[in-house]
Structure 1
Amino acid sequence: MPVSNRPLFSPPVLAAVMVLCTLAIWLLNLTAPSSKLPTPNLETWHTTSDIPVTWVKHANWETGDKLEIRLVFRSEEHDANLVQTTLAMLMSNSLPLSTASINQRLSPLAAKVSSYYDHESQVIGLTLSNQSQYLNPTLALVTNWLKQPDFKLRTFEQWQRQQQNAQASKHALVNTLFDTQHSMEQVISLKDIQDYYYQLQKSATHIYIVGHLSDQVRPSVEEALNQISLGYQLEDHKKATLDEIKASHVTQLNKQASSQLWQSRSAIALTPMTSVKEWISLQIWGADLVSTLNSQADIDFVQLGLTLSALQPWAGWNIQYAEQLIIDSPQSAEEQTGARFSANSFIHRDNIPSINDRARFADLFSRFKDQLGQQAQSSTWWAYMATQVVHEQGSVPLEDFIESYKEAIDTFTIDDYQNIIEPLIKADSYQEIQTYQ
């Protein structure tokens, strides 16, 4: 019997089958379980001064030598300039009898320090090797440094000259956003810095260790934390209420009829997170905001920051506008009718592209999962999450996040995103500072 050379499917049917196969592969990639994401274990204890310690550990980190330690505080100081200056001074040449910065001294020991602050919390970070030959001298140096830093007058005066008002607009936005009545014009003295560092020690909340601790080095780390926190006291948990977030108005600086918009700073209050899916929604919303605004010809670049504090989280973005474009040829019809997005476009649900465009949502969500797959392998990322995203005094403490984040990602849909994002963004709190030239 002769064998027919006729194809099994006609060209149109074959093309349709190929399209369906491509869609199936795309859907499989989109819904693939996040089994490769790590699930760290937690071990807890208290220092001799009763400061809680959480050790975040995972088998993947046992072959590495990096250790992250974070000291977390919640002082009630409302002068952001004082907080910023104190932490900057601490990170400079604050070792006694030394002109080198603390990080210059720690560099030969494969270690470094860092700091972070927002309107609710302050963090001192240590990144160090867990190998005894580096760990022990690092702990000795850091312990002496943190117990009695030397804030030098010459360094303070130099900082004031170089950094004066560097963060003034950001601080002003936050003050207005949360109706904080505090003058940004207050003159800071060296004594103010010394007093505030003492105040900081009386408002400790937690210590996090992320990475591998062998049985040989763990006692050294525990003893160092006992010594560092010897004078610490737990903060008294005086909490502000969300009612303090009040609606305000848009502020415009240096505006003239013929002026061109040069920069804008925007800020909006967020509802405190109560689930991992809300955190995922903010990641997609933020990526959409940056990508959409950056693609517009009149914008040079956009920077977005999410301050996910426990009680009063907020989002802020800075836009640098391009110089006025000179177009020799008429715009195409597509360019003329294309959607335009202003600085405040993303505060209302129906204006957000990824809410209305399923393909865009799918692309952003896929990119988020790819990025998360790399970030979650890092102890530094987990230290960041433990101190700046999930909070023990919040609705999603670290333990709950670890237990639920993989399932939340596996089951997250555009319907979740559409339902979550509107109540998460407090549209009536929006603030904007515009600068014209």
Structure 2
Amino acid sequence: MPDNNKPLFSRPVLTLVMFFCILAIWVLNLASSNSKLPSPNIETWTTTSGIPVIWLKQSEWKNSNKLEVRFSFHSNTNNTTLVQTTFAILMSDSLSLSTATINQRLEPLAARASSYYDHENQVIGLTLSNEPQYLQPTLSLITNWLSQPAFKQRTFDTWQHQKQINTSAQSNRELTVYSNTVFSNTTSKQNSQTVADLSLIQVSDFYQDLQHSAGTIFVVGDLSTEAKQTLEVALNTISQNFQLSQSITEPDQNTKASSIALATEGQYLWQTKSAMALAPISSIQEWLSLQIWGADLVSTLNQQEHIDFVQLALTLSQHQPWTEWNIQYANHFTEKAKSNTSNNIMDAISFTSIEKVPSANDEVAFELLFNSFKTQLEQQVQSPTWWSYIATQVTHENSQLTIEEFVNDYKQAVDNFTIEEYQTALKQLLKPSSYQEIQVYQ
């Protein structure tokens, strides 16, 4: 007769079953924690004038007609007034024999142009359709525009007049976080040169200088073989007068000592404008850390009753990155009202110190912000526009973090990111001694 008391499985078998169950649970947990982040493929070539082209493509874009093209430049100028004016006129009616702006001309072709600049980089951007009926006429128009832009005197005069009116209506408030670089929130004053000091000849000459300071051309999106050949021809023509930028001496890294300026005297605090230098980004973990730090800053300050809203901007240039945040206060916010609020109140300067950053000292707060960031990131990475931003404003050629490194490693960095890495990165990135603040009263 069978022994009914005999166990169904022997001890070694039971141990093996338990091992595989634990392994299955571990694998499921690991899979669920992994983010859905595709890594684009990279193809490179060089224009006939020697300018490198980097093309980012991925299978998810096969059914998308959106194409992004970015021309990056590294003009060694500290005259932001001249850069701003040149781009403003270029984006206006700079086509010969035309009173329409470039975007008015591009709109029927499902395309648009844009520009970006900071104190180290300049970018001309194009968003266009890769469909044959749009691509060819768009590239033909763009080629004529960028090869020989028409900088018109009447356009320059109008721009100059408008800027003078706007500037005269504002206080001249400047924030200096590096010893050799001035960042202005409300004016374009730099090196004592204003819009009124410029001439159209300077604008035209700067555009030529820009062409001789070319970096990389980035192409992001899907291209058929025929469309790629069409684009290659256009890029060769557009860049025929381009020259690669020469090596630029690394700017002085000395930061300016902390100070507070009272911009306008009054009874009620209306705004604070803050700026702080950052260390150059050298890894994806440091980029991730700034995203979480920025989200924490905006979220925490926005939750306080005496604040109406907060705006944050990161300028992640290669040598002198910096950040600024503007706080708009509620009506009739006085120092007395501030003292009567919670003792846990966080002011503009709080986020310069890692000891006061909530997400750096509370793992639950960190996880909430990081999970929210990952959810947003999974949507952002589907867009060619987001990748063109990463290519031109986060990563840099010949730096410690290139677009190739970002593409290859960002998913693993996100999947394995920890609060310890976050804390380490913030200690490296934040430069509290450079903090500048302007208080505006009314």
Q: Where do 5+ consecutive residues of structure 2 fail to align?
A: 1-24, 183-190
Of residues 344, 357, 364, the one that matches 1:359 is 364
State how far apart, in whole Å, the 2-side matches of 1:79 and 1:171 are: 17
- In structure 2, do the counterparts of structure 1 residues 339 and 270 end up closer, same or farther at CA, with 3 Å as the change threshold? same
Bigger shift: 150-159 or 70-79? 150-159
State how far apart, in whole Å, the 2-side matches of 1:76 and 1:122 are: 10
- What do you get for the CA RMSD once the two structures are aligned? 2.6
- In structure 2, do the counterparts of structure 1 residues 65 and 420 end up closer, same or farther at CA, with 3 Å as the change threshold? same
Superposition pairs of residues 210-221 of structure 1, within 5 angstroms: 210-221=220-231
State how far apart, in whole Å, the 2-side matches of 1:170 and 1:202 are: 36
- The question of whether the paired residues in 2 share the 8 Å contact of 1:61 and 1:212 is answered with yes
Q: CA deviation at 1:165?
A: 7.8
- The question of whether the paired residues in 1 share the 8 Å contact of 2:43 and 2:54 is answered with yes
- 1:247 maps to a residue whose letter is A
- 1:253 maps to a residue whose letter is A
- The question of whether the paired residues in 2 share the 8 Å contact of 1:58 and 1:212 is answered with yes
- In structure 2, do the counterparts of structure 1 residues 174 and 98 end up closer, same or farther at CA, with 3 Å as the change threshold? farther
Bigger shift: 266-275 or 351-360? 351-360
- 2:180 maps to a residue whose letter is D
Q: Secondary structure at the match of 1:88?
A: helix
Q: Secondary structure at the match of 1:301?
A: strand
- In structure 2, do the counterparts of structure 1 residues 167 and 358 end up closer, same or farther at CA, with 3 Å as the change threshold? farther
- In structure 2, do the counterparts of structure 1 residues 209 and 172 end up closer, same or farther at CA, with 3 Å as the change threshold? farther
State how far apart, in whole Å, the 1-side matches of 2:122 and 2:345 are: 38
Aligned to 2:384: 379
State how far apart, in whole Å, the 2-side matches of 1:175 and 1:229 are: 36
Bigger shift: 98-107 or 316-325? 316-325
Q: Secondary structure at the match of 2:259?
A: coil
- 1:98 maps to a residue whose letter is S
Aligned to 2:293: 285
- The question of whether the paired residues in 2 share the 8 Å contact of 1:177 and 1:430 is answered with no
Superposition pairs of residues 249-260 of structure 1, within 5 angstroms: 249-255=259-265, 259-260=267-268
Of residues 170, 186, 191, the one that matches 2:201 is 191
Q: Secondary structure at the match of 1:250?
A: strand
Of residues 414, 417, 422, the one that matches 1:412 is 417
Aligned to 1:342: 347
Q: Secondary structure at the match of 2:387?
A: helix
Q: CA deviation at 1:217?
A: 1.2
State how far apart, in whole Å, the 1-side matches of 2:39 and 2:402 are: 14
1:96-119 deviations in Å (ceiling 9; x for gaps): 111111001001101000000000
State how far apart, in whole Å, the 2-side matches of 1:360 and 1:163 are: 44
Aligned to 1:152: 152
- 1:358 maps to a residue whose letter is E
Count of residue pairs brought into register by the alignment: 404
State how far apart, in whole Å, the 2-side matches of 1:306 and 1:166 are: 25
Q: CA deviation at 1:153?
A: 1.7
Q: Where do 5+ consecutive residues of structure 1 fail to align?
A: 1-23
Aligned to 2:400: 395
Q: TM-score, normalised by structure 1?
A: 0.87
State how far apart, in whole Å, the 2-side matches of 1:203 and 1:321 are: 42
Q: CA deviation at 1:173?
A: 4.2
Q: Secondary structure at the match of 1:292?
A: helix
Q: CA deviation at 1:61?
A: 0.8
- In structure 2, do the counterparts of structure 1 residues 79 and 46 end up closer, same or farther at CA, with 3 Å as the change threshold? same
1:169-211 deviations in Å (ceiling 9; x for gaps): 9996465534237224361111111111111111001100001
- The question of whether the paired residues in 1 share the 8 Å contact of 2:143 and 2:234 is answered with yes
State how far apart, in whole Å, the 2-side matches of 1:170 and 1:230 are: 44
State how far apart, in whole Å, the 2-side matches of 1:231 and 1:436 are: 50
Aligned to 1:85: 85
